[in-house]
Amino acid sequence: MAQKASNPLPEFKSEESRARYMAAYNAALADWPVPYQAFDISTRLGSTHVIASGSPEAPPLVLLHSFAASAMAWRLNIAGLSAHFRTFAVDVIGQPGKSLALQRPRNRQQLADWMAQVLDGLGVQRSSIVGCSYGGFLALNQASLTPERVDRIVLISPVGGFASQYWKLTYLLRVKQPVLKLVHRFIGSRRRPKPADSQQKQAASWIPPLDAKWGALMAMTMFERPKISVTKAPAFSGAELRAIRAPTLLLIGEQERLYQPQAALKQAQARMPGLHVALVPNADHIAAMAQPDAVNQRIIQFLQ
């Protein structure tokens, strides 16, 4: 049974604001491309919403979304992945979605304990994990702190872990870009502007995702501006990275903007020997959405 938070996080400006966001979320969920079950798992941090797809007999695979994106970020990937795995798309606690946090997570150990409690609630002893951006940090954190619960991990343009980009990401999302510009860059349109100046050139190279309803949900997220409760995503020490036993694949879009892709791959391999790496052509930070078929193929090959 789900917990009920008296002051749930993330906080919205009003109940009307929350209702508008949830309407956009439910519109995206209504077109979930495969049959699913929804669960609300009680944890010490609060109720965590999980969308499960695929055969219950298939190997488990947890999907952790990017900053503020919700489980709906996996809509373009879920059909391909759930054909091979029992997928669990999680609304990360403290972020927009249907999870309701009772308190803000304070450190890495609390986050690892939260994810372990989610697995317990799902009846999953061990799972592979795919994480995008902030979700990549969470996946790496889980493999570091609860190695007995993790088989393999796939990191898609992670923040933190190998090097800390958390504050740069937060700045780009919450401060620098006006809402409409941020929505354009993350949601985009198939018509690209003519690059009249360097800023427009950068926007023109951003790969717009192909999911209009996720785009509408993200536009609503930016418009309503819920107060998100997350921890910093730090760089792990070399000793921590070398101690991770779970085989790990790192994917970065060749048009990544938070860091230089080739240099990031090289740095990560130097810090974590045995790491598998690859560039995703014609993809940016949300590579799984920009190139869902190519990313799915790499994930499936690595996990099998």
Catalytically active residues, by annotation: 133, 256, 285
Using the CB atoms, write b or e for 53-66: b if 16+ within 10 Å.
bbeeeebbbbbbbb
Residues in CB range of 58: below 8 A, 6 or more apart: 82, 84, 85, 86
- The whole-angstrom distance between residue 290's C-alpha and the CA centroid of its chain comes to 14
Task: Give the other-Cβ count within 10 Å of 41's Cβ.
Answer: 23
235-to-30, 115, 137, 174, 230 alpha-carbon distances in Å = 37, 20, 9, 21, 16
CA distance 45 to 231: 13
CA distance 248 to 241: 11
CA distance 11 to 5: 11
